[in-house]
Amino acid sequence: MMATIGSCESSDMTYATHLTYKTHLMSRIPLSQLGWAFLLTLVLLLDASAREPIPAPPKVEVHTKTVRARDLGIPFDGTPGKFNAITDVPGVEVGYTTLISGEGKLEVGKGPVRTGVTAILPRGRDAMNDPVFAGYFSLNGNGEMTGTAWVEESGFLEGPIVLTNTHSVGVARDAVIAWRLAHGGPDAEGFAWSLPVVAETWDGWLNDVDGFHVKPEHVAHAIESVQSGAIEEGSVGGGTGMICYEFKGGTGTASRVVFVAGIGESNSSASPNPFTIGVLVQANCGRRPQLTIRGLEVGKKIPGSVYKRETGSIIIVVATDAPLLPHQLKRLARRASLGLARTGSVSGNGSGDLFIAFSTGNPHAADAKPPIRTIETMPNDLMDPLFTATVEATEEAIINALVDNHDMTGRDNHKVEALPHDRLRALFQKRNQSR
């Protein structure tokens, strides 16, 4: 995992792809135009180095090894997909912009910066304008998820889901609209409008949240960098500056593959036709003593604190390829609450626990023509496996956000430690030996 990015000034912020816009522009200049300038610069540098010592460059800590919760021997229920990620749902793509710069004392508007943007495209970039059925649920509403009034009214999610910090919701929302106008244009009647879904959690303990460092180009970059397959977790994208159970939190994901009774069961002669549930969380909630992992009270066994009271939130996005209708997806979104509860959260008064679920089934269901169309769905009586998978994947996604992470120091030298792998592994080994 490449989750830590070197320090740089806010105007030249390095993205999660480790490519700055300035570097991108330089890469397009012909080499012949750079040759003599490069040689002259090299001579000057060599001459200067002979006269006075050159200070060592700042040490940049690089985290390349991905360690997820299952790697530590944590026994989760259910069968994950190939990547154990929301991108196991066919068509779903995820992109990030990770903004990390500065250190030391907070200077509002300058930093330190520990924030970013996450973009989730339900059908990927190639089908951005094909809405999906969706449902929304608020477990505790001390937070923001824009566009949900229209999701509730229409039953459709249009465009991407974007996650960022609390004070960047407005710019992110406007940037999504601008990006869609630039890449989609008006509809058949000449109108172009959008009510995008943008959600937030607060990263002000580590980040200069009042400095408004997320810009429209950062939102555009997150959308344009989406990918399927394996995706990064931890301190990336909108999760960069987040804290979960007073350990370093952020972005986590997981998935489950399920068979629904009577629909291509694996033990029948028919061809298996499994469905996939994928979950992505931006985890920024809970107090240390609450943290529970597979029934083990980990937070009490690894004591510590960051806050005097809970000030965090969690956004949970549930995706599936099962052909569900909006009311069924709202039911699915509710089940994310149970996965969250398994990790110990009580959804405190200060927490914005907002969940959205969507289905990639029924493509073109929102098209105006033909005026009458056939929609696939499944009976409510068959949804229990999907409910179970949602609970399981939500639980694991939250733990992945904690495990696949690293220590971070932010504004005013506030430091948040990552969940220690060795102690967590030892706790589970001890429990297994006592059984």
For the question of residue 313 being annotated catalytic, the response is: yes
Instruction: Name every residue whose Cβ is closer than 8 Å to that of residue 279 and which is 6 or more positions away in sequence.
Output: 86, 253, 254, 255, 316, 317, 318, 319, 336, 339, 390, 393, 394, 396, 397
CA-to-CA distance for 118 and 407, rounded, in angstroms?
A: 20
- Peptide bond before residue 112 is cis, with ω within 30 degrees of 0: yes
Catalytic residue among 88, 208, 353, 404: 353
* Residue partners of 275: CB distance under 8 A and separation at least 6: 257, 258, 259, 260, 263, 320, 321, 322, 386
Taking the CA of residue 376 as centre, how many other CA atoms within 13 Å lie in the half-sphere pointing to its CB? 10
Give the pairing type, strands 161-165 and 197-201.
parallel
Nearest to residue 332, comparing CAs of 362, 267, 377, 270? 377
CB proximity list for 328: less than 8 A, separation 6 or greater: 135, 377, 378, 380, 383
3-state secondary structure (DSSP) of residue 431? helix
Please state, in angstroms and as integers, the Cα–Cα distance from residue 425 to each residue in 147, 230, 363, 400, 432, following that order.
Answer: 41, 24, 44, 14, 11
Name the active-site residue from 168, 313, 337, 359. 313
Positions annotated as catalytic residues are: 313, 351, 353
